[in-house]
Amino acid sequence: MQFIDLAAQYQHLKTKIDARIQTVLDHGNYIMGPEVQELEAELAKYVGVKHAITCANGTDALTLSLMALDIKVGDAVFCPTFTFFATAEVIAYEGATPVFVDSDAATFNICHVDLEKRIQATIAEGKLIPKAIIAVDLFGLPANYPEIQKIADRYNLKLVEDAAQGFGGSIDGKRAGSFGDIATTSFFPAKPLGCYGDGGAIFTNNDEYAELIKSYRVHGKGSDKYDNVSIGMNSRLDTIQAAILLEKLAEFPIELINRNKAAENYEVSLSGKYKTPQVPEGYVSSWAQYTLLSASRDTAMAMFKEKGIPTMVYYRTCMHMQTAFDYLGYSVGSFPVAEKLAKSVFSLPMHPYMDAKS
């Protein structure tokens, strides 16, 4: 059994994907070819936003968003400590200061109660200017945007949705990628919607942000890429990757159903033995990971291994304990829920072709 079976997916879509790639080889527009625009239109339609802008990867998608929001030195940006490194990395990369927030014990997502406390503490301290929140749809489950948006409004903060793992999820029918001021996703192969290399996208309803991001992704271009009006970067999605994603996106709704069936099967067979992931009323998860909790994680993982079932740990180290963030001066014990999660979570194989192979 494989942790994520990309080969099974390719076999299922091979004829269509091969034909799409061949079309790109025939027209030869490898950078910003017609498939890129076609994909952006399809993505915007699926997510339900005005603008979808593709880029080179999910990390750049976050960086481009923070650039559009003018995040800089002296700014505080709040994000969960229990997440993938990129969420916090991009804040520091822009020269701003990540302010970490504890997790919700039930959903593993950012805890809105702790979020408000950390915002108030930052204001009271008076050293940084609170500017934005990056919430993460961890393991495929959208964060609690109804509550987080209220807090963002109350303190006049921008809200970014990191939907790298959340693409396909929803709250009351509103899709991941449509929350906050700007949302981002990743098309890294192992994500719910992945390509065959690196890729990412940014979603927004805001025309001004969309224009800025389109400029920043091509060297801060003005009328063309040799007229440069600001400092940007080179972060485009390859046409071949867009071609592959068009076929994968067409299949995605069926895959999402399959992922949810796989999660239901896990729930039935495991809920008595482990703490299984719970999806709040009205929420849909895209199940980027199916994550269990066990106080004796090593023993549990060894048992699965014996049965030929691979497991992985996402994530062993919270952001406030990462060496790279030593300079922020956090210590053990400052985020009790997240620290406990880091010690007890482990994930099981999850992909839309589980039945075919397992």
Catalog residues that contact ligand PLP under the rule CB under 6 A. Answer: 57-59, 83-84, 86-87, 136, 162, 164-165, 186, 188, 198, 200
Closer to ligand PLP at the Cβ: 138 or 300? Answer: 138
- Nearest distance from residue 250's CB to ligand PLP, in Å? 21
Closer to ligand PLP at the Cβ: 40 or 162? Answer: 162
- Nearest distance from residue 286's CB to ligand PLP, in Å? 12
Closer to ligand PLP at the Cβ: 36 or 300? Answer: 36
Q: How far apart are CA 257 and CA 347, in angstroms?
A: 19
Closer to ligand PLP at the Cβ: 3 or 155? Answer: 3
Hunting for tokens 């993938």 — which residue is that?
84
- Nearest distance from residue 136's CB to ligand PLP, in Å? 5
CA nearest to 250, candidates 28, 39, 33: 39
Closer to ligand PLP at the Cβ: 71 or 300? Answer: 71
DSSP, collapsed to helix, strand or coil, labels residue 163 as coil
Closer to ligand PLP at the Cβ: 86 or 244? Answer: 86
| Those residues with Cβ within 8 angstroms of residue 44's Cβ, 6 or more apart along the chain or in another chain | 50, 51, 52, 203
- Nearest distance from residue 299's CB to ligand PLP, in Å? 27
- Nearest distance from residue 226's CB to ligand PLP, in Å? 28
Closer to ligand PLP at the Cβ: 80 or 352? Answer: 80
Mapping DSSP onto H, E and C, the string for 228-240 reads: ECCCCCECCCEHH
Using DSSP bridges, classify how beta strands 75-80 and 97-101 pair: parallel, antiparallel or unpaired. Answer: parallel
Closer to ligand PLP at the Cβ: 133 or 300? Answer: 133
Closer to ligand PLP at the Cβ: 164 or 244? Answer: 164
- Position of minimal CB gap to ligand PLP: 58
Q: How far apart are CA 116 and CA 215, in angstroms?
A: 34
CA-based diameter of the chain, in Å?
62
The distance from CA 45 to its chain's CA centroid, rounded to whole angstroms, is: 19
Tokens, residue 127? 């050293």
Evaluate whether 87 touches 162 at the Cβ level (below 8 Å).
Answer: yes
- Nearest distance from residue 138's CB to ligand PLP, in Å? 7
* Segments in the chain forming alpha helices (H): 6-27, 34-47, 58-68, 85-93, 112-125, 145-154, 207-216, 239-270, 297-306, 336-344, 354-357
- Nearest distance from residue 154's CB to ligand PLP, in Å? 25
Tell me the one-letter amino acid at 272: G
Closer to ligand PLP at the Cβ: 58 or 232? Answer: 58
DSSP, collapsed to helix, strand or coil, labels residue 89 as helix
CA dihedral 301, 305, 309, 311 (to 10 degrees): 40
- Nearest distance from residue 71's CB to ligand PLP, in Å? 16
- Nearest distance from residue 86's CB to ligand PLP, in Å? 4
- Nearest distance from residue 191's CB to ligand PLP, in Å? 6
Q: Using CB atoms within 10 Å of the CB of residue 145, give its burial: 0 to 12 exposed, 13 to 18 middle, 19+ buried.
A: buried
Tokens, residue 34? 């017609």
Task: Provide the terminal-to-terminal Cα distance of the chain, rounded to the nearest Å.
Answer: 6
